[in-house]
Structure 1
Amino acid sequence: MSESLDVLRDVPYSDEKDNVLRSFDLYYAPDSSPQPLICFVHGGAWRSEDKADHASLARSLASSTGFPIAIPNYRLTNSSDGANSVRHPIHSQDVLDFLSFLQSWDRLGHVVDRSKIYLIGHSCSAHMLSSIFLDSSAVTPVLVPPPQVIKAVRGIILSEGIYDIDLLLSRFPTYREWFIAPAFGDKSSYPEFSATRLGLRKGQEKNDIRWLVIHSKGDTLVDLPQTDAMYTHLLRLYSEHAPQPVMVSKVDDLVEEHDQVLRSEGYLKLISDFILQDVHRA
Structure 2
Amino acid sequence: MPSLVRNTGLPCACLEYRLAPADPHPAQILDVVSGLELLTGPLLPLEAGEAKWDRTHLIVAGHSAGAFMAATLVLRPLPTHPASSARSSPFSVPDIVRQAVRGIICIDGIYDLPALLDEYPSYASFVSEAFGTDLSVLAAESPARWDRYNDDAGRDVRILVLHSKGDELLSLRQPRVFLRRVKQLFHAGGEAGVKDKADEATSEADERDLPANVEVDFGSLRGGHYEVVKGDELAQVIALRLR
Q: TM-score, normalised by structure 1?
A: 0.69
For 1:169, the equivalent position in structure 2 comes to: 117
User: By how many angstroms is 1:188 displaced?
Assistant: 4.7
State the identity %: 32
SS of equivalent to 1:99: helix
Contact 1:75 1:90 in 2 (8 A): yes
For 2:40, the equivalent position in structure 1 comes to: 103
Contact 1:136 1:143 in 2 (8 A): no
Higher relative contact order (CA 8 A, sep 6+): 2
For 1:37, the equivalent position in structure 2 comes to: none
User: By how many angstroms is 1:269 displaced?
Assistant: 2.1
Contact 1:74 1:95 in 2 (8 A): yes
Specify whether residues 136 and 204 from structure 1 end up closer, same or farther in structure 2 by C-alpha distance, changes over 3 A only.
Answer: farther
Within 5 Å, give how 1:14-93 maps onto structure 2: 58-78=1-21, 83=22, 86-93=23-30
For 1:256, the equivalent position in structure 2 comes to: 223
Structure 2 CA distance for aligned equivalents of residues 146 and 188 of structure 1 = 28
- Opposite residue 72 of structure 1, the aligned amino acid is L
Name the count of aligned residue pairs: 211
5+ residue gaps, structure 2, are: 192-210
5+ residue gaps, structure 1, are: 1-57, 277-282
Specify whether residues 159 and 253 from structure 1 end up closer, same or farther in structure 2 by C-alpha distance, changes over 3 A only.
Answer: same
* Matching of residue 198 in structure 1 with residue 146 in structure 2: yes
Structure 2 CA distance for aligned equivalents of residues 127 and 201 of structure 1 = 17
Contact 1:199 1:237 in 2 (8 A): yes
- Opposite residue 245 of structure 1, the aligned amino acid is N
Match of residue 170, structure 2, among 213, 222, 227? 222
SS of equivalent to 1:157: strand
Q: TM-score, normalised by structure 2?
A: 0.79
- Opposite residue 152 of structure 1, the aligned amino acid is A
Within 5 Å, give how 1:227-242 maps onto structure 2: 227-239=175-187, 240-241=189-190
Contact 1:135 1:201 in 2 (8 A): yes
CA offsets per residue over residues 108-161 of structure 1, 9 Å max, x none?
243222121110011011111212210127435843222221221121000111
Specify whether residues 136 and 63 from structure 1 end up closer, same or farther in structure 2 by C-alpha distance, changes over 3 A only.
Answer: same
Structure 2 CA distance for aligned equivalents of residues 245 and 63 of structure 1 = 26
Moved over 4 A (4+): 204-207
Specify whether residues 246 and 89 from structure 1 end up closer, same or farther in structure 2 by C-alpha distance, changes over 3 A only.
Answer: same
Match of residue 134, structure 2, among 187, 197, 200? 187
User: By how many angstroms is 1:217 displaced?
Assistant: 0.3
- Opposite residue 95 of structure 1, the aligned amino acid is V
For 2:72, the equivalent position in structure 1 comes to: 131
Match of residue 151, structure 1, among 96, 99, 112? 99
Task: Write 1 or 2 for the structure with the bigger share of strand.
Answer: 1
Contact 1:74 1:91 in 2 (8 A): yes
* Matching of residue 270 in structure 1 with residue 237 in structure 2: yes
CA offsets per residue over residues 165-193 of structure 1, 9 Å max, x none?
1111112111101x101000133562212
User: By how many angstroms is 1:264 displaced?
Assistant: 4.3
